[in-house]
């Protein structure tokens, strides 16, 4: 039905442009849904450990991150990592078939023969050169301080130098291990609800799913079922502090979507870019890294707060270098129509350049976004910069503890209400220096 509706629109119209681009994406998504489902099933049926178990079952793609968080023996984590890399051969043909089909759909249904990359860039309102310059600039600023911090943090947390199997998602859990007790008594869904309720957000449209089911999607995620009246947040526990960050991130999406006006046009309620969608998730997640906010949760020891800040800055640098590599690879994948082998070779080189880690290039096929989405990954970098700008903007208007002010909630809702018609210039110049100076 989604594809049929989009094809009907494209048969007669090219405006509004947001709906045109959304229709192309809907056709690409809907007509490749069987391949997407096949990829999901392959991940859980083929990307499975032959030697190691978690929660009474063999470690699978869906439980990999939980296994890494709980497993103390690095040799066992390496075994699972290496086996999963070897099993990307089962995923590769389906990923390539899906992306090839998407490329054909964009070319067929757009009169100017747009590529999926063209559609993404237009939706984000940036040119190819602007995006690449922006991404490379952030990566270049982050790689030296990251690689220096990685050497220090690895010895502190792991007692050794980091290896390729100590990936971003492993560090995201393990780097806080000795500080987790500070958050053991915090219930993330309850706490984020209290914070948003204090700013008078209507939480009735937002529903949580925290059950730890078999084959459940491994990453926190938010579904915009019906904007703004039905928004759903899904995650499963990995570790106390990450659960707090992941829950706040997805609740930021939910806060955003549920605050869009029900009177906004359909394409403005659903057609906003990913670079806008991620602003409010990263923005709300920033509270979990804010010393004053953490103090309000009961973390009062200044030494602990300083340690959390140091490790958060390290993870932000890891995020920038990792997502720089992710973004540059995916852009080249579309621009040069790379084979899967060349994409993996490029990815290995980019990961090495920006993080310093000798990562097997096939790793990108095990990521939860890179093999699924057309682009998406650069949107995290765009949004991280805008989220920092919004945070500082609110501090200037409502004080350092803006989250305690009902007026701040009203102001955020005023910003988000137009949906895709949001005026980013109210708080953002897309100046990466503010964000980068925070974390270096």
Residue ranges per domain, the chain?
126-440
Predicted confidence band at 350 (pLDDT cuts at 50, 70, 90)? very high
CATH architecture of the domain formed by 126-440: Orthogonal Bundle (1.10)
In this structure, is the dihedral angle defined by the CA atoms of residues 233, 234, 236 and 239, taken in order, positive or negative? negative
The predicted structure's pLDDT at residue 79:
98
Say if CB 427 and CB 393 are below 8 A apart.
yes
pLDDT at position 173 is 84
Average pLDDT for 361-380: 96
pLDDT averaged over every residue in the chain:
96
> What is the per-residue pLDDT across 66-81, written as a single tens digit (0 to 9) for each?
999 899 999 999 999 9
Contact 422, 415 (CB under 8 A): yes
What pLDDT, on the 0 to 100 scale, is given for residue 428?
97
Q: Which of 217, 211, 188 is nearest to 284 (CA)?
A: 188
The pLDDT value given to residue 317: 98
- Residue 219 has a pLDDT of 84
pTM for this prediction: 0.94
pLDDT given at position 379: 97
Q: Rounded to 10 degrees, what is the CA torsion of 207, 210, 212, 215? A: 40
pLDDT at residue 340, rounded to an integer:
98
pLDDT above 90 for 320: yes
Cα–Cα dist 70/42, whole Å: 24
> With 90 as the cut, is the pLDDT of residue 215 above it?
no
Asked whether 359 and 352 are in contact (CB, 8 A), the reply is yes
Q: Is a pLDDT exceeding 90 seen at residue 237?
A: no
């Amino acid at each position: 039905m989604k594809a049929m509706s989009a094809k009907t629109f494209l048969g007669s119209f090219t405006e509004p442009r947001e709906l045109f681009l959304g229709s192309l994406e809907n056709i690409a998504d809907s007509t490749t849904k069987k391949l997407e489902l096949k990829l999901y099933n392959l991940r859980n049926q083929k990307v499975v450990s032959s030697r190691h178990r978690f929660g009474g079952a063999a470690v699978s793609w869906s439980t990999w991150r939980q296994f890494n968080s709980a497993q103390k023996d690095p040799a066992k984590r390496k075994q699972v990592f290496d086996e999963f890399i070897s099993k990307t051969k089962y995923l590769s043909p389906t990923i390539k078939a899906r992306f090839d089909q998407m490329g054909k759909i964009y070319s067929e249904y757009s009169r100017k023969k747009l590529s999926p990359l063209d559609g993404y860039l237009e939706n984000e309102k940036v040119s190819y050169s602007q995006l690449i310059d922006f991404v490379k600039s952030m990566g270049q600023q982050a790689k030296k301080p990251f690689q220096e911090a990685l050497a220090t943090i690895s010895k502190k947390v792991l007692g050794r130098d980091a290896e390729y199997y100590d990936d971003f998602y492993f560090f995201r859990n393990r780097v806080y291990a000795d500080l987790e007790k500070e958050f053991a008594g915090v219930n993330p869904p309850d706490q984020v609800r209290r914070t948003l309720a204090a700013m008078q957000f209507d939480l009735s449209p937002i529903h949580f799913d925290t059950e730890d089911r078999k084959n459940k999607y491994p990453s926190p995620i938010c579904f915009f079922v019906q904007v703004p009246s039905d928004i759903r947040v899904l995650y499963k526990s990995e570790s106390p502090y990450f659960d707090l960050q992941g829950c706040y991130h997805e609740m930021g999406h939910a806060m955003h979507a549920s605050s869009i006006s029900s009177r906004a046009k359909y394409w403005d309620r659903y057609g906003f870019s990913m670079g806008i969608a991620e602003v409010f998730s990263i923005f709300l997640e920033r509270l979990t890294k804010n010393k004053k906010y953490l103090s309000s949760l009961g973390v009062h020891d200044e030494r602990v707060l300083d340690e959390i800040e140091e490790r958060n800055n390290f993870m932000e640098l890891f995020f920038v270098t990792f997502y720089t590599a992710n973004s540059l690879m995916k852009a080249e994948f579309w621009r040069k129509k790379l084979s899967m082998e060349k994409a993996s070779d490029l990815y290995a080189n980019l990961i090495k350049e920006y993080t310093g880690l000798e990562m097997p290039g096939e790793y990108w096929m095990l990521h939860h976004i890179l093999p699924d989405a057309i682009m998406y990954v650069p949107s995290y970098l765009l949004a991280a910069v805008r989220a920092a700008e919004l945070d500082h903007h609110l501090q200037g208007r409502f004080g350092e503890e803006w989250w305690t002010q009902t007026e701040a909630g009203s102001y955020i809702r005023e910003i988000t209400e137009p949906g895709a018609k949001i005026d980013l210039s109210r708080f953002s110049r897309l100046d990466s220096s503010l964000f980068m100076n925070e974390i270096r």
